[in-house]
Amino acid sequence: MNIAVGDVIRMKKPHPCGAYEFLVLRVGMDFKIRCLGCGHEVMAPRKKIERNIKKHIPKEP
């Protein structure tokens, strides 16, 4: 999957605050994402994030 810093991803399950969308802050072996609902930042393994993505919204040029 081709995900870059600045993209927005919509997950299958919501964050505890109720938001489904996250901003990608870091890409590599691990992803660092920020919840667009409450601003909480999470680092998770790439495999776990890619498995739970429902929709990928690329960054506007």
Q: What is the pLDDT of residues 9-22, one digit of tens each?
A: 999 999 999 999 99
21-26 vs 30-35, strand pairing mode: antiparallel
Tell me the average pLDDT across 23-41.
95
User: How many CB atoms neighbour CB 48 within 10 A?
Assistant: 10
**pTM of the predicted protein model:** 0.89
SS3 at position 35: strand
Confidence of residue 31 (pLDDT cuts 50, 70, 90): very high
For tokens 């399950």, name the residue: 13
